Amino acid sequence: MAVIRISAPETAEKNEVIEIKAMIQHPMETGYRRDERGDVIPRDIITNFRCGYNGEIVFEAEFLPGIAANPFLTFYLRATHSGSLNMSWTDQDGQSWSATHALTVA
């Protein structure tokens, strides 16, 4: 179970600039650490984040091991129409998690 936190306004004026914050619980294991026995802890990272706005990808991030655990992002969108914001995270093995946020534009 990966916990997701999203912060975005529920309503906005047309063409208003809205702040989006997104965070997911994930170790972003680099593959460079060793456990107590000296064994390498295998790499386990989220490699991709996407934000869709009514089905169109408007913002995308590629993560490498240099992104901190529990990856956090703040970015800004222009609210042009009512609809849904879909945030999805995909790991190196193709597993993905997502959350949807409804936005009403007056």
Partner 1 sequence: MDKPLSRPTDWTRRGVIAAGTAAMSLFVPGVAEATPDDLENAIRDLFGDRPLSEGRVVVGLPPIAENGNSVALNISVDSPMTPEDHVRQIVVLSPRNPIATLAQFRLSPSVARADISTRVRLAGTQTVRVVAEISDGSLWTGKASTYVTLAACVIG
Partner 2 sequence: MRAAFAFLLGTLAACNPQPANTGAEMDLPRGVVRSGYEFLQPETRILQDDDFENPGLLWVQQGAVLFETPMQGGPACASCHGEGGRLLTGAAAHYPAMESQSGELVNLEGRINLCRERYQGAPALAYESSELLALTAYTASLARGMEQSVNITGAAAPYYDAGRAYFFARKGQYNLSCHQCHDENWGRQLRGDTISQGHGNAFPAYRLEWQDFGSLHRRLRDCDSGIRAEPLPYGSETYVAVELYLAKRAEGLVMESPGVRR
Question: Which residues contribute to the site for partner 1 (CB under 8 A)?
Answer: 17-18, 30, 32-34, 36-38, 40, 53, 56-69, 71-78, 80
- Taking a C-beta distance cutoff of 8 angstroms, is the pair 51, 20 a contact? yes
The answer to the question of residue 72 lying near partner 2 (CB under 8 A) is yes
Residue 64 contact among partner 1, partner 2, none, beta carbon within 5 to 8 Å by kind: partner 1
35 CB-side CA count, 13 A: 7
Shortest distance in whole angstroms from residue 68 CB to partner 2 = 7
- Taking a C-beta distance cutoff of 8 angstroms, is the pair 32, 65 a contact? yes
